[in-house]
Amino acid sequence: MMRLLFQGVSGVADLSESPCSTSAGRDPEQPHSLELVARQDKSRAFAVTKAPKGPREDSPGWSAAEPWDGRRKNDPLPSGGGAKTNSVTHSSGRPCISVLPPRGRHCDRVEAPAFALPLTTDHCSIATLREADKLHEECGVVAIHNHPHAAHQAYLGLYALQHRGQESAGIATADGHHLANIKGMGLVSEIFTDDVLAKLPGRMAIGHTRYSTTGDSALLNAQPIRVESTKGLIAIAHNGNLVNLGNLREQLERDGAYFQTTSDSEIIVQLIAHSSAATLVDAIADSLSQVEGAFSIVMMTRDRIFAARDPRGFRPLSMGRMKGPDGHETIVFASESCAFDLLRAEFVRDVLPGELVMVSEDGVTSRQYAAGMPRSSCIFEHVYFARPDSRIFGRWVQESRDQMGRQLARESGVSADVVVPVPDSGVTAALGYAEEARIPFRLGLIRNHYVGRTFIEPEQRVRDFGVRLKLNPVHNLLAGRRVILIDDSIIRGTTSRKIVRMVRGAGATEVHLRISCPPTISPCFYGVDTPSKRDLIAANHSIEEIRSFIEADSLAYLSLEGLLKACDANQDNGFCVACYTGNYPTQWVDVEDILPATAAL
């Protein structure tokens, strides 16, 4: 089995309706096409083989000099239906498989030659792909209905949501007749120049900025995903993670579904395409009721926008409105309300858990496709992910983090001279702590804002180096002082140890670390970037052992009760705290079940 990762294939793609658009209900025996969406730079494409389970006495450990191709001795190279494959040698000298478009099929305006795919393993990277046992984080979605410059508005919305993912981004637009889609690897501002946005006409748009959850960190799985189905052309952008995708995908493939990507987001579209419901709205409602897990989605057809949240409300999604330049009312959806501020839109309300909202030329309509499930909103949105100027799950993030700091000071106060935040996500909690403890607040660590957030970068090797790139101590504020460091979480502990060493190296006489959430002891299956349990330091060590590892003079976490109190949790505003307790709100799913799905060549 093999899955393909198209990482910045050199070329240009126009994904307006072309012969390579694939029907969700097509005959699986038909040869498939490859949709290439590319950045305008020179880079390489890779194929990754999933290493077989069990002992591999004949398989050397991976090294840059001698990559293992995932086969046991004397195993044949993978082959089979779909695109034509040839065994060739890449210019790097590594064994690889070349992939050629099937005969008789083509994609309009795809300027890319046949390409060779070097073989690596799941546990290596695009020169060290990423840790194979990691789950991956958050995404941001936005939707615009009835605006003459919908693509530009989607661009601004994604720009405000860039903190939710920096691997890829995409925008799809519709003008009532056609649907265009452009996506690429990188930051929103790098992909969508004025010239690119000019190729996205229409008064409707959806957009997505991504860090991979299920599926690979690759251009192939960048969103929005567009599928031609029996219900028409549909584009979808999804934030979250489905936990029953294995069974659903197998069932859909038996029914003749052909998957264009390895992302779980496409499963929702395939369910819509295969639904027996008579209308598209009924088909969407029927499909959403079959999936389990976390999802906030925006979808678009040629003339309508849809927005929905899962029945437990894991992920945020808000609705706003604004007046367009032509005087018409524009409806906006976004993962966080901070996007509305940049768009000058008015916050209307959150999309409710289990709610499906449809926006058309006739106005806004809503239906509850599922009800009665206890709310399980992700509390880590308030701890870390969301911007402090966003209103999430009915509460300002700034207020929650301030209360986390105050409660932390009440629970684990210590004598010190200054309170110093680990920027940026620790700043608000540190302000609350300092005010509650009546200890001076100082910005003793300065962040380089041109470096991405450590927690959602793909490689551990990059992550370690990023600490030194990102933070620099202010020596005159730290030297000779007892310092309380405030951070939002400890995942592996490696970053915290480097920061403690940095502060102590700047002359601090004592370093006390305070964490504004409980110890993270379990991985998340609902779209959060936490590694496997064996890599979570709090799952395997006591607080005293963690303190010793990070070399702090003292260490304390906010209690779970204190966190829930800070976030104003109640019967109507329940939170998922599985990462702190190991008690999951859905059926238990082994991590292997939600690793990237494979596609046979």
Q: Which two tokens stand for residue 481?
A: 């002082």
- Integer-rounded Cα Rg, in Å, for the chain is 24
N-terminal to C-terminal alpha carbon distance within the chain: 7
Can you point out the beta strands (E) in 352-493? 355-360, 363-368, 377-378, 391-392, 395-396, 418-421, 445-447, 471-473, 482-487
Number of residues in the chain: 601
Q: Of these residues, 124, 139, 338, 579, which one is catalytic? A: 139
- For 247, residues 6+ apart whose C-beta sits below 8 A from its C-beta are none
Give catalytic status of residue 139 as yes or no.
yes
Distance CA 317, CA 354 (A): 12
Residue 63: CB atoms within 10 A of its CB come to 9
Distance CA 601, CA 590 (A): 26
Q: Nearest to residue 352, comparing CAs of 338, 373, 331?
A: 373
Inter-residue contact 108 to 20 (CB < 8 Å): yes
SS3 content of the chain, % helix, strand, coil (to 5): 25, 25, 50
Bridge partners, 35 (sequence order): none
Distance CA 453, CA 450 (A): 10
Strands 363-368 and 355-360: antiparallel
Instruction: Find the helix or strand (DSSP H, E) in which 537 lies.
Output: helix 537-540
- The residues that are catalytic are 139
